[in-house]
A and B are shown apart, each in its own frame.
Chain A
Amino acid sequence: MKTIMVVDDEKDIRETLRLLLEKNGYKVITAENGEDCIKKLKSVKPDLILLDIMMPGLTTKEILDGIESDKSNRNVKIMFVTVVRLAEAEKDDILKRKNIVGYIEKPFDIDNLLKKIKEVLGDQNRSR
Chain B
Amino acid sequence: MIKIEVDDLIKKLENKNVMIVFAPKYNISGIGVELANKLSKRGVVFYFSCIKTCKHLLGTFSQIGAKIENIKIIDGITRTITSTPPKSEGCVYLSAPYKFEEMFIAIKELSREKTLDFFVFDALSTVAIYYGYAVSREIGITVKFVNLLQLINDKCKIIFLSSDDSKDDPLIQEVLTLVDEVVES
Contact = CB atoms under 8 A, between A and B. Distances in A.
Interface in B1-54: 25-26, 29, 50-53
A97 B96 CA distance: 21
Nearest to A58: B80
A53 B53 CA distance: 12
Contacts of A61: 79-83
Contacts of B51: 54, 83-85
Secondary structure type dominating chain A contacts? loop
Interface in B84-106: 96
A56 B130 contact: yes
Contacts of B79: 59, 61
B58 to A, nearest CB: 8
B141 interface: no
Contacts of A55: 129
A19 interface: no
A60 interface: yes
B55 A89 contact: yes
User: Could you say which of B52, B80, B81 has the most chain A C-beta atoms within 10 Å of its C-beta?
Assistant: B81
Interface residues of B, number: 24
Given A9-B129, A54-B50, A60 B56 contact: no
Q: Is the interface on chain A under 10, 10 to 19, 20 to 34, or 35 or more residues? A: 20 to 34
A55 to B, nearest CB: 8
B59 interface: yes
A86 interface: yes
B80 A60 contact: yes
Given A85-B52, A85-B53, A59 B81 contact: yes
Contacts of B50: 54
B56 A86 contact: yes
B126 interface: yes
Contact of A57 (B56, B82, B133): B133
A90 interface: yes
A56 B59 contact: no
A111 B132 CA distance: 34
Nearest to A62: B80
A61 B93 CA distance: 15
Contacts of B26: 83, 106-107
**Top 3 A-B residue pairs of the complex, sorted by shortest distance between their CB atoms:** A56-B133, A59-B80, A87-B55
Interface of A: 9, 53-57, 59-61, 83-87, 89-90, 93-94, 106-107
Interface of B: 25-26, 29, 50-53, 55-56, 58-59, 77-83, 96, 126, 129-130, 132-133
Given A86-B56, A87-B55, 6 more contacts: A9-B129, A59-B79, A59-B81, A59-B96, A89-B55, A90-B55
